[in-house]
Amino acid sequence: MNIDYSPEEQAFRADVRAFLAQHLPEDIRRKVLDGKRTVRDDFLRWQRILFDHGWGGPYWPKEYGGTGWNQTEVSIFEDECVEAGAPGLISFGQKMLAPVLMAFGTPEQKAQHLPRILRGEDFWCQGYSEPGSGSDLASLKTKAERVGDKYIVNGQKSWTTQAHFADWIFCLVRTASEGRPQQGISFLLINMKSPGVSVRPIIMLDGEHEVNEVFFDNVEVPAANLVGEENKGWSCAKFLLSHERTGLNLVAFSKLMMRRLHRIAREESANGEALIRDFRFRDRLAQCEMELMAHEMTLMRTLAVMAKSGAPGPEASILKIRGTEICQALFELTLYAAGPEALADMPEALDPDWQGEPVGAAYTPMAAGDYFNMRKLSIFGGSNEIQRNIVAQRVLGL
């Protein structure tokens, strides 16, 4: 397999790099590269800048206002954005909901929501997991009862990432209890400003507020906000999850982590020794680097298949497993490299206006907090155990 970039692709990379150098706001870039806390406006401001340049939809076809880039160009764009310190695009709208609306949405739903996602006017979050219904989505209990031209929604969603930023939430809800559990699920779009919607923060081990509980108390939702057919939302859910899992390949981010680790390992400590001279650390670093190279090749093959078929298959599960495990291994090595300084509890260092010295050579003020936070990677988007079951059934035929 030839993974060398063509002259045209190399020219495209140069164009992306030049655009980022000119248009990425310095305050946002410094936040991202220094591991500072990013907020809603950072994401939306960057989305509006991309939109003004015609790059608001790097993953979308031209017919919906996207760039129409091929998968290699998208991969180059992501690589350069991560390296430059651009905030990640709001994946819930860009990468998850948008493909569902393009495949299952009505013309009215597409006209209402896709342009606002593209222009950075709406922030979306995902309402899938519930207490007791994490990886087993089919057991969800949030209920939507049809009354005339609207649904009345009652229930709770948990671990809802960035719900405190969100204007809208796309939800899996139960609209019937007969038959197989998957057959009674529907896919609803709910305005977070609707009466009866409330958000309660969940503070994580690193002391940060990233995830939330979302409660629905007799929330009225127009029936026009139903995506696809009633009781057949499981098809939308599976379609969305395949795109989410492909996005969890984490190749670009892991390559950035790898470069940081190499810099850390070559810095001399107080006793004059560089960590790279520790053969045990060097062996673990080399192992991660080889696995990451192989993982990137798998991603490129998968993207080539998607360019023809339009949707990922069971390869998405393989990418999710390997991508999250490699990324977790890199965070573990970063924790090891930071040494005792990784234990520092400095949440104030995540504030953009904090002027203190960075902690150690780990290029992050909270190496331990980052390590604990990234344990989630092998759980969300469908746990890695479930992904292995999918591979066993759909690839190995077990």
List domains and CATH numbers for the chain: 7-89 (no CATH), 124-232 (2.40.110.10), 248-394 (1.20.140.10)
Residue 178 falls in the annotated catalytic set: no
Residue 48 pLDDT: 97
What pLDDT score was predicted for residue 363? 47
What is residue 359's predicted lDDT score, i.e. its pLDDT?
45
Q: What is the CB neighbour count within 10 angstroms for residue 10?
A: 11
pLDDT at 133: 77
pLDDT score for 270: 58
Model pLDDT, residue 111: 97
Answer whether 216's CB lies under 8 Å from 153's CB.
yes
Beta bridge partners of 150: 147, 222
pLDDT at 32: 87
- pLDDT (tens, 9 = 90+) of the chain, 398 residues, equals 455 778 999 999 999 999 999 999 999 998 888 777 889 999 999 999 999 999 999 989 999 999 999 878 988 998 899 999 999 888 899 989 999 999 999 999 999 999 999 999 999 999 999 998 766 778 899 999 999 999 999 999 999 999 999 999 999 999 998 878 788 999 999 999 999 999 999 988 777 889 999 999 999 999 999 999 999 999 998 888 766 666 668 888 898 889 888 888 887 665 668 888 888 999 999 999 999 999 988 887 777 776 666 666 777 888 889 999 999 999 899 888 877 766 655 666 666 666 665 544 444 446 777 788 888 888 877 788 888 998 898 888 87
- Kindly list the distances between the CA atom of residue 132 and the CA atoms of 128, 375, 392, in Å, as whole numbers in the listed order: 12, 19, 25
Q: Which is catalytic among the residues 78, 80, 130, 244?
A: 244
The upper half-sphere exposure of residue 251, i.e. CA atoms within 13 Å in the direction of its Cβ, equals 25
380's tokens? 């969300």
For the stretch 196-201, contacts whose Cβ atoms lie closer than 8 Å and that sit 24 or more positions apart, written own/partner, are: 196/153, 196/220, 199/160, 199/163, 199/164, 201/164
Strand segments, DSSP code E, in the chain are 124-127, 143-147, 150-157, 168-174, 185-191, 197-203, 209-222, 226-227
pTM of the model: 0.85
Cα 19 to its chain centre, rounded Å, is 23
